[in-house]
Amino acid sequence: MNPLMCFLAAIAALVLASPQAFAQSQIDPVAPCANARAQWAQIAPSRDAAAYNAFLPRIPNLCRGLQGEVRNALAVLNRSAGAAPGVVSAAPRAGAILPLDCAFCPELAVIPAGAFQMGGTQDSEAPVRAVAVRKRFAMAVRETTVDQWSACVNEGSCRAPASAGAGGDPVTGVSYDEARAYAQWLAQTTGLKYRLPTEAEWEYAARAGDRAQAPSNLCAVAHIGTCGASGVAATGGLRANAWGLRDMLGNVTEWVFDCYNPNFAGAPRDQSAWVTGACAQRVVRGGSWFDGPQQARYAARDAQPPGQRGPTIGFRVVRDMD
C-alpha cells in the first residue's frame, strides 16, 4: 500500500474507533488563545519590553485581541518609564503621559486642577458658569479601543459590542451601563479608581485652556464629516490638544457619567457629576464622524437613553489621581 493510502486508512481507523478522540484532535480556536493569554498574564507584570517583544511572535494569528494588547503595552513602554501601577515619582506636568497601569490599560494624560467657563451659545449649554476643578485627574488619551474592550470580553467581564471594528478603532455599540462596567473592571483589575468622566471634567479636558467655542484648527483635531470623514477612524490619528488628548471632538461621541438636564440652571459649580434630573437620559459629548462643526464644539451636548448602543457612540475613561 502506498504512503497516501496508509495515511487515509489510519485516519479512517481513528474515526471509526473513536469519533470523540478524532474530534478532540482537531484545532480548537479557543484553546490556543486561552493558553497564550495565560502566558501573557505571567509576562505582563514584568513591564519588560524585551519580554514583550519576545512573546509577541509566539501569539497565534487568530488571537488578534491579545496581539493588540501586547502591541499597546509595548507602545506605552517605549514612551514611559516602568513605574509601578498608579505610582508617579514626581508631580507630572499637565498633559504628561503616565506609566501604563496594566498591559491592556489605556494611556492616560494628566489633567491639572484649575477653573474654566463651562457652557456655550445654545439653550442646552446655558447659562455659562464658572466651574472649579479642584482635583487633578488622568484621562485616557484616546477613546476606548476594540482591542482594549476585547481584553474585558476575554476576561468575561464585558459583552461583545453591538458594533465591531479593527483593533485600534474606538469600540462602539456599547451602552452607558456597559461603559461603566468596563471602567469598574479596570478598577478591580488594577486596584485604582477608574470611572467615566463627569460632564464638567470632559469639557474642561477637551478645552485644555481654550476659551473659544471650538478649536481654530478644527480639521486638524476633529474627525467629522465636514473635514472629510466618512466613517469611524482608528484612534489617535489627528493632532492632540494642549493636554495630550486626541479625538475629543468627532470620531465617536462619548458617554459621560451625568444625568441629562436640558440646561445648566442649577448645575454643580465643581467637577462633580450632576446626578439628579432626567436620569432616564445620559449625556454624550464631542460629536461623531457623522456630525458637522455645530456638534464639534467644546460645549455641544446631547442625550441618549443609557441602554442605547449606537454605531457612533463610544467612550473614554478617567482615573482619579488624588
Please choose, from the candidates 290, 289, 262, 287, the residue with its C-alpha nearest in 3D space to the C-alpha of residue 277: 262
pLDDT (mean) for 6-14: 45
Whether 232 has a pLDDT exceeding 80, the answer reads yes
What is the per-residue pLDDT across 203-215, written as a single tens digit (0 to 9) for each?
999 999 999 999 9
Full-model pTM:
0.75
SS3 270: strand
3-state SS track over 295-306: CCCCCCEEEECC
Whether 10 has a pLDDT exceeding 60, the answer reads no
Whether 91 has a pLDDT exceeding 70, the answer reads no
Cα distance between residue 148 and residue 104, in whole Å: 6
pLDDT score at 281: 96
In 10 A of CB 235, how many CB atoms? 26
Secondary structure E strands in the chain: 108-111, 114-118, 129-133, 137-140, 194-195, 253-260, 278-285, 301-304, 313-314, 318-320
pLDDT (mean) for 41-61: 80
Mean pLDDT of the chain: 86
Check if the beta carbon of residue 308 is closer than 8 Å to that of residue 176. yes
pLDDT (mean) for 72-98: 65
Q: Which residues face 116 on adjacent strands?
A: 131
pLDDT score at 240: 95
Cα distance between residue 274 and residue 147, in whole Å: 31
Q: Where are the alpha helices (H) located in 168-280, listed in sequence order?
A: 176-190, 199-207, 218-221
Check if the beta carbon of residue 251 is closer than 8 Å to that of residue 235. yes
Longest Cα–Cα distance of the chain, Å, equals 89
pLDDT score at 229: 93
Amino acid at residue number 300:
A
Least confident of 6-15, 30-39, 226-235, 303-312: 6-15
pLDDT score at 61: 73
Least confident of 18-22, 144-148, 166-170, 278-282: 18-22
Whether 295 has a pLDDT exceeding 60, the answer reads yes
What is the per-residue pLDDT across 112-152, written as a single tens digit (0 to 9) for each?
999 999 999 999 999 999 999 999 999 999 999 999 999 99
Domains and CATH numbers, the chain: 1-79 (no CATH), 84-320 (3.90.1580.10)
- In this prediction, what percent of the chain has a pLDDT beyond 90? 65
Whether 23 has a pLDDT exceeding 50, the answer reads no
74 vs 266: which has the higher pLDDT? 266
Q: At what angle do helices 64-77 and 30-43 cross, to 10 degrees?
A: 20
Whether 298 has a pLDDT exceeding 90, the answer reads yes
In 10 A of CB 157, how many CB atoms? 15
Torsion of CA 122, 125, 126, 129, to 10 degrees: -140
pLDDT grade for 30, boundaries at 50, 70 and 90: low
Whether 220 has a pLDDT exceeding 80, the answer reads yes
pLDDT (mean) for 240-267: 96
